[in-house]
């Protein structure tokens, strides 16, 4: 005798693989639930990882908060302001910066000529920058040494314009063009037309193609000179790194610094700067979750149709059970048990399949890129060399639990149909 309740024992007996049409449909239903759960886990984990890594890279270069003067001009005496901000609880580090739009001409070499391109020169203090960004850890060639008239070039610019460590660059800044214009207005005979000479000390990988093709790094003093507003030592603003960069903490610290610093300073954060993109990413993740859940719903409808077919085929057995005294609830539990077994097997198989797919996602991506001949996940668009993923236990629990509930609900209608079947009618139909 089995130790299981007879309803569950019968349900398992009926689900044993046999060479019948119903058994094939049952296996298809299990496979449908498994694929739905696996696809949901894969897509949600990839989108979660994409969002997390994108946030890390956005804050890895420009930190969490930025403080600038409310009006034009530089923050001349920025060290007292930096010390004042650093005393706030929750602040990990503060560092100055300068952003200057410049025009760069590469060193002309025989056979390849020179390249001219526009770029943002970001001036930083190398001793303080490590507190607020990952710049000091992103060097791939040369050395992180910002001596006077030296720059660090990202790998994208270096590759596109054939820049190597040790090359000389002519940098034309806004003050340079102003000097040229004033000289022309004064009709001076000798017009200065050259830019400042800078030397490439290293090559950086900033982690995102947009940054690798639009920014180069120099010292704070040189950045202020290129900007033309810093008087050789001022800063355009301060970047602030927080201990916890979540949305609530970031907004709370932003409001606090605005109150403390007053109307003379503008305080912005990385959430405000990237809000449209982050909101679009969150909306896309939610929509993908709801849309892909329909795969599980379709599989549940298949399970329902299989149970309805099974009820029709087992009408005589149901009548015999009713004649022997089986209660309607017991008959309903028999078919709900079948639906539960299908749901459990499908969810468990989908969970295992999803975990395996996430573990070997990049190997599969490289295989498909090689077989198809084109890049399925181009770094120039998505800013990542590999497919990111982050498995969140809460998301997996919602997917697996929701799928199991849907499978159970799919068995309610066939179970009620069998539970209220009259014994005399069932035996007469046979």
**Which helix (H) or strand (E) element contains residue 390?**
none
Angstrom distance (rounded) from CA 186 to CA 192:
12
- Identify which of 426, 413, 417, 428 has the alpha carbon closest to the alpha carbon of residue 321: 426
Dist CA 260 CA 325 (whole Å): 79
Q: Are strands 91-105 and 116-124 parallel, antiparallel or unpaired?
A: antiparallel
∠ at Cα 215 (211, 218), nearest 5°?
135
**Predicted pLDDT of residue 397:** 93
* CA distance linking residue 417 with residue 113, whole number of Å: 83
Q: Specify which residues 124 forms β-bridges with.
A: 97, 219
CA distances from 170 to 117, 138, 180, 307 (A): 11, 24, 15, 77
Alpha helices in 132-173 (DSSP H): 155-160
C-alpha separations of 2 from 8, 12, 13, 342 in Å: 10, 12, 12, 21
Q: Which residues contact 179 (CB under 8 A, 6 or more apart)?
A: 192
- Predicted pLDDT at 400: 92
| Model pLDDT, residue 38 | 93
Residue with tokens 């214009």: 181
Is residue 88 within 8 A of residue 71, CB to CB? The reply is: no
* Per-residue pLDDT at 203: 92
Task: Report CA-CA distances (Å) from 301 to 33, 347, 348.
Answer: 10, 15, 19
Profile the chain (430 residues) by mean pLDDT over runs of 10 residues. Answer: 57 58 72 91 89 75 83 84 89 90 83 81 88 82 88 90 89 80 66 75 83 88 83 81 83 89 87 75 84 84 80 71 70 78 89 92 81 69 73 91 89 78 60
Does the reported pTM lie above 0.85?
A: no
pLDDT at 63: 78
Residue listed under structure tokens 């629990």: 397
Q: Which pLDDT does position 1 carry in this prediction?
A: 44
CB–CB of 43/292 below 8 Å?
yes
Spatial CB neighbours of 372, under 8 Å, sequence gap ≥ 6: none
Instruction: Give the 3-state secondary structure of residue 200.
Output: strand
Q: What is the pLDDT of residue 144?
A: 87
């Amino acid at each position: 005798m089995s130790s299981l309740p007879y309803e569950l024992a019968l349900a398992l007996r009926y689900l044993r693989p046999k060479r019948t049409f119903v058994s094939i449909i049952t296996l298809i239903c299990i496979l449908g639930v498994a694929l739905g759960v696996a696809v949901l886990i894969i897509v949600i984990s990839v989108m979660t990882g994409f969002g997390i890594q994108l946030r890390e890279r956005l804050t890895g270069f420009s930190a969490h908060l930025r403080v600038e003067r409310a009006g034009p001009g530089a923050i001349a005496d920025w060290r007292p302001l930096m010390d004042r901000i650093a005393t706030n609880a929750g602040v990990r580090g503060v560092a100055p910066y300068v952003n200057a739009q410049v025009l760069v001409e590469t060193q002309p070499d025989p056979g390849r000529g020179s390249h001219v391109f526009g770029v943002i020169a970001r001036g930083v203090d190398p001793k303080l920058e490590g507190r607020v960004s990952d710049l000091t850890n992103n060097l791939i060639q040369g050395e992180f040494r910002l001596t006077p008239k030296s720059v660090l070039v990202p790998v994208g610019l270096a590759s596109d314009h054939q820049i190597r460590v040790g090359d000389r660059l002519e940098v034309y800044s806004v003050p340079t063009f102003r000097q040229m214009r004033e000289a022309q207005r004064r009709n001076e005979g000798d017009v200065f037309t050259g830019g400042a000479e800078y030397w490439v000390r290293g090559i950086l990988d900033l982690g995102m193609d947009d940054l690798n093709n639009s920014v180069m790094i120099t010292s704070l003093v040189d950045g202020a000179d290129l900007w033309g507003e810093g008087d050789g030592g001022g800063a355009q603003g301060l970047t602030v790194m927080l201990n916890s960069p979540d949305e609530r903490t970031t907004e709370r610290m932003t409001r606090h610094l605005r109150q403390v610093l007053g109307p003379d300073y503008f305080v912005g954060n990385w959430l405000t700067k990237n809000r449209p993109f982050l909101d679009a990413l969150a909306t896309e993740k939610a929509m993908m979750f709801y849309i892909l859940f329909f795969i599980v719903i379709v599989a549940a409808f298949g399970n329902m149709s299989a149970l309805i077919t099974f009820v029709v085929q087992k009408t005589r057995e149901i009548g015999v059970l009713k004649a022997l005294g089986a209660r309607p609830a017991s008959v309903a539990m028999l078919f709900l048990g079948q639906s539960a077994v299908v749901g459990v097997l499908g969810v468990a198989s989908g969970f295992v399949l999803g975990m395996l797919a996430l573990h070997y996602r990049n190997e599969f991506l490289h295989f498909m890129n090689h077989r198809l001949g084109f890049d399925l996940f181009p770094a120039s668009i998505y800013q990542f060399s590999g497919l990111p993923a982050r498995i969140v236990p809460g998301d997996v629990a919602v997917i697996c639990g929701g799928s199991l509930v849907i499978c159970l609900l799919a068995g309610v209608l066939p179970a009620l149909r069998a539970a209220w079947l009259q014994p005399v009618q069932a035996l007469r139909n046979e």
